[in-house]
A and B are shown apart, each in its own frame.
Chain A
Amino acid sequence: MRSLIAQRPFVAALSGLSRVCINRTAPIGAQLANSLVQGQRYASVKSQGAYKKKSKRGIPKKLGAKRTGDPIADPIRTQPDQYVIPGNIIYKQRGTLWWPGENCIMGRDFTIHAMATGYVKYYRDPARHPDRKYIGVTFEKDDVLPYPAHAERKRKLGRTAHQIRPEVPKPEVSPSGIPFQITRVEKGEPDRLLRLRKDYSYREDNWRIGRLVQTTGLKIKRFRTRKQYFRHRRWRREREIEGQRKAAQRREELGDDAVKVVKQLSKKALKKAKKAGRK
């Protein structure tokens, strides 16, 4: 299968270059490879001219204004400022042709979105930036952007008032006469709260079961943080190196003969040696 896929380009090349005159003396593979690598086209193909043409229809990017209200592009005001709601896309662009102004934000791909309900305005704000163009949304249709400097911001609450319902205390006993929750008391264990389920069984809440681990006092991780672990490892290594250094020093002080080299033997080998000694 893999070899088939690998050969695919050659097949394509063959079909594409059917008109190419193949020199019989050279091996076919080499010839094809050359023409592919260098991108050669022979005169007969070039004379047709078609392969050099750029495609007239690319994939449209569909950029530009999705909501109007642009006095720069539309100075006679043939189109009204369009009404938008939060999240609406106002402008799609590559790069920042337009910047987000009043009540607008810019998305990851430079798209300008509305952040409030209102009317789209396209404007410049030299006080903010000398040559940026902004898109803004105003609450009133007649408002003009930018708002005067030092004027209070125009804000909307965007909330409605509702009465807070007082919490109804849940009865202790269910309509079927059994309690909604019971406490299981076991000696030497923390008390467990069991609740009545839909299937009339009593079971502990899953989140409470999760909390039980904390009551055991078990230490699952030796180190609380990764940093602590690495510090421990560093110190351990330092201790090891220090110990090795000291051992080497001691060896040097005592001399070569004092050190008895003990060859490390496995348990099995030790047993064998013992047996052999006994014999």
Chain B
Amino acid sequence: MSRCQSVARPLARQLQQRSMQQCLAIRSFNTTSSQQNAAASTAAAAEPTPLDLDPDTVLPEFEDALIKAGKMPIGSRRRRVALRSNPNSLPFEQLPYQAFQEARKILAADREQKIAKIKEEVEKIARIEAVEDSQFKGGPKMKATRLASLRKYVEELKIKADVNDPVVKKRFEDGLGDMNKPIYRYYAEKKWRSYDQRLITQRISQFHIVPDIIPKLVPTADVQLYFRKAKVAPGEIVDSLVSENPPRLRVQLFNPGERLVTVVVVDPDVPDVENDTFFKRCHYIAANIPLSPTDTSLPLSKIKGDDQLALPWLPAFAQKGSPYHRMAIFLLEQLPGERVDVAKVKELYASSRDKFSLKSFQSKFRVRPFGFNMFRSVWDDNTAAVMARHGLPGADVELRTARVHSLKGPVKLKGWEAKRQGPKYRQLWKYTKRIRGLSNARGWTKRK
């Protein structure tokens, strides 16, 4: 039996039982099956059982209510149904398999060892800290290095103590991990690095975010983009009606502690027809937003504070005929304990959002980029309406590819007809002019 089948077996058994019960019910009450189903579904919709209020066992139809109540359903729907069928099952860690329990003992012993080691290292750190800088062998520099390396080792040990615990792994996979603990942050970062981080770095290079907007960008936090509750993959083209309202960001930090961040949205592809180039436009700036590994939601529309919102959201739009616009969303980390002067930001950028430079913003306000996501915008059916609603000019202008003329001069045309176009051959014009399927409006043209 395959793994998938073995997982589904309790579910299938449950369904079989239920269908049998239904059959019995049909016989006893003598109703048609469709009526029976309808009655069952309405009854179920009306009154959720206590099992349906539990995120571990909630059925799909009660998920929405549970999410609204603030609890996220745990695990897959399949697992939830399987758990319903067997509510009084043993907890995972008490499963009565000898090898499993022996293995757990070994893991527990290993954990004890790691914790003892941590205690030892912490004591060592305390001892070193107690020694004066000048007394320490190698001087203050050596002391700092030693302390840093010891602290790093302690962090490593903290992860190693829990990394083999199946219960911890399960809790992380169920989304119940406490991001204040290093082990869950470690798992989250590992998961991010396995795919999303690679994807975002690829987007940064393939959309030339790196030389175009900033010279260097190494993302260290997971930033996901949501428009109207729907997740948008990095670089996806978003309808202008959808991107009219600011998105919601989901930011997962992987290093401990609360910090203040700045969010900047830049469009580096604004066409500059006079100079035949592009310039950058700033679509959004908000600063002094507190973030920590535990609070991940960052809805840009909810940021309204006077000392936070500097430039409100300007909808993404692309003029007709212009190449796609990259809308780059940057998360910048402020220096610890420092606040960005929002009044100054407003003064600098509120008058003109055009010709924005993230590089100069970075140096002016001492912020460092750590998170990135992006979407794209093109001219679509709704763009004109969006531009009209927000008083943006340029909806009536279309950009057309500029014709590049050949470097070669005009070619003397050849052929019997070409020779006989002049008035000398007036008597032949009936043959050389007005030839069907061939325009002669601009003189004799070459046959294609």
Cβ–Cβ contact A157 & B277, under 8 A: yes
Cβ–Cβ contact B276 & A157, under 8 A: yes
List of A residues within 8 angstroms of B400 by Cβ: 159-160, 162
Cβ–Cβ contact B397 & A159, under 8 A: no
B411 beta carbon closer than 8 Å to chain A: no
Cβ–Cβ contact B273 & A85, under 8 A: no
Cβ–Cβ contact B401 & A156, under 8 A: no
List of B residues within 8 angstroms of A160 by Cβ: 273, 399-400, 402
In chain B, residues 253-277, which have Cβ atoms closer than 8 Å to a Cβ of chain A?
271-273, 276-277
CA distance A159 to B402 in the complex (A): 5
List of B residues within 8 angstroms of A164 by Cβ: 320, 396-398
Cβ–Cβ contact A161 & B277, under 8 A: no
List of B residues within 8 angstroms of A117 by Cβ: 404
Cβ–Cβ contact B212 & A157, under 8 A: no
CA distance A86 to B321 in the complex (A): 19
Name the residue on A nearest B208 (C-beta).
A153
Using known A-B contacts A158-B401, A160-B400, determine if residue A150 contacts B215 with beta carbons closer than 8 Å: yes
One of A85, A88, A151, A157 near B278 (C-beta < 8 A): A157
- Give, as a whole number of angstroms, the nearest-CB distance from A40 to chain B: 52
A155 beta carbon closer than 8 Å to chain B: yes
Give the contact-size bracket for chain A.
10 to 19
Cβ–Cβ contact A158 & B402, under 8 A: yes
Cβ–Cβ contact A158 & B397, under 8 A: no
List of A residues within 8 angstroms of B210 by Cβ: 150
Name the residue on A nearest B214 (C-beta).
A150
List of B residues within 8 angstroms of A85 by Cβ: 404-407
B216 beta carbon closer than 8 Å to chain A: yes
Cβ–Cβ contact A155 & B397, under 8 A: no
List of A residues within 8 angstroms of B277 by Cβ: 155-157
One of A153, A159, A162 near B322 (C-beta < 8 A): A159
- Give, as a whole number of angstroms, the nearest-CB distance from B135 to chain A: 45
A152 beta carbon closer than 8 Å to chain B: yes
One of A83, A150, A157, A158 near B211 (C-beta < 8 A): A150
In chain B, residues 364-392, which have Cβ atoms closer than 8 Å to a Cβ of chain A?
none
Cβ–Cβ contact B399 & A161, under 8 A: yes
List of B residues within 8 angstroms of A158 by Cβ: 276, 401-402
List of B residues within 8 angstroms of A155 by Cβ: 277-278
A225 beta carbon closer than 8 Å to chain B: no
A34 beta carbon closer than 8 Å to chain B: no
List of B residues within 8 angstroms of A88 by Cβ: 407
Cβ–Cβ contact A161 & B401, under 8 A: no
Name the residue on A nearest B396 (C-beta).
A164
Contact with B along A135-157 (1 / 0, CB 8 A): 00000000000000011110111
- Give, as a whole number of angstroms, the nearest-CB distance from B321 to chain A: 6
A163 beta carbon closer than 8 Å to chain B: yes
In chain A, residues 107-126, which have Cβ atoms closer than 8 Å to a Cβ of chain B?
117
- Give, as a whole number of angstroms, the nearest-CB distance from A217 to chain B: 26
Cβ–Cβ contact A150 & B322, under 8 A: no
Cβ–Cβ contact B398 & A161, under 8 A: yes
Using known A-B contacts A85-B404, A152-B211, A162-B397, determine if residue A157 contacts B273 with beta carbons closer than 8 Å: yes
List of A residues within 8 angstroms of B211 by Cβ: 150-153
- Give, as a whole number of angstroms, the nearest-CB distance from B90 to chain A: 43
CA distance A152 to B402 in the complex (A): 23
One of B215, B321, B396 near A159 (C-beta < 8 A): B321
CA distance A137 to B402 in the complex (A): 18
Select the residue from A86, A117, A159 with max chain B CB neighbours within 10 A: A159
List of B residues within 8 angstroms of A150 by Cβ: 210-211, 215-216
List of A residues within 8 angstroms of B273 by Cβ: 157, 159-161
Select the residue from A85, A155, A156, A163 with max chain B CB neighbours within 10 A: A155
List of A residues within 8 angstroms of B322 by Cβ: 157, 159
Name the residue on A nearest B319 (C-beta).
A161
CA distance A157 to B278 in the complex (A): 7
Contact with B along A236-249 (1 / 0, CB 8 A): 00000000000000
- Give, as a whole number of angstroms, the nearest-CB distance from B218 to chain A: 13
Cβ–Cβ contact B398 & A162, under 8 A: yes
In chain A, residues 67-96, which have Cβ atoms closer than 8 Å to a Cβ of chain B?
83, 85-86, 88
List of A residues within 8 angstroms of B320 by Cβ: 164
Select the residue from B271, B276, B400 with max chain A CB neighbours within 10 A: B276
- Give, as a whole number of angstroms, the nearest-CB distance from A264 to chain B: 46
Name the residue on B nearest A156 (C-beta).
B276
- Give, as a whole number of angstroms, the nearest-CB distance from A120 to chain B: 13
- Give, as a whole number of angstroms, the nearest-CB distance from A115 to chain B: 11
List of B residues within 8 angstroms of A161 by Cβ: 273, 397-399
Contact with A along B401-443 (1 / 0, CB 8 A): 1101111000000000000000000000000000000000000
CA distance A151 to B216 in the complex (A): 10
Cβ–Cβ contact A159 & B278, under 8 A: no
List of B residues within 8 angstroms of A83 by Cβ: 407
Name the residue on B nearest A151 (C-beta).
B211
Cβ–Cβ contact A152 & B212, under 8 A: yes
CA distance A155 to B397 in the complex (A): 21
CA distance A59 to B210 in the complex (A): 48
Name the residue on A nearest B359 (C-beta).
A152
- Give, as a whole number of angstroms, the nearest-CB distance from B431 to chain A: 27
Using known A-B contacts A152-B211, A163-B396, A163-B398, determine if residue A157 contacts B407 with beta carbons closer than 8 Å: no
Name the residue on B nearest A158 (C-beta).
B402
Name the residue on B nearest A166 (C-beta).
B396
Cβ–Cβ contact A157 & B271, under 8 A: yes
CA distance A155 to B277 in the complex (A): 6
Known: A161-B399, A163-B396. 17 other contacts (CB 8 A): A85-B404, A85-B407, A86-B404, A117-B404, A151-B211, A153-B208, A153-B211, A155-B277, A157-B271, A157-B273, A157-B276, A157-B278, A157-B322, A160-B400, A160-B402, A162-B398, A163-B398
By a beta-carbon cutoff of 8 Å, the part of chain B in contact with chain A is 208, 210-212, 215-216, 271-273, 276-278, 320-322, 396-402, 404-407
Please list 10 pairs of residues, one from A and one from B, whose beta carbons are closer than 8 Å in the complex, sorted by A's number: A83-B407, A85-B406, A151-B215, A152-B211, A157-B272, A157-B277, A157-B322, A159-B399, A162-B400, A164-B398
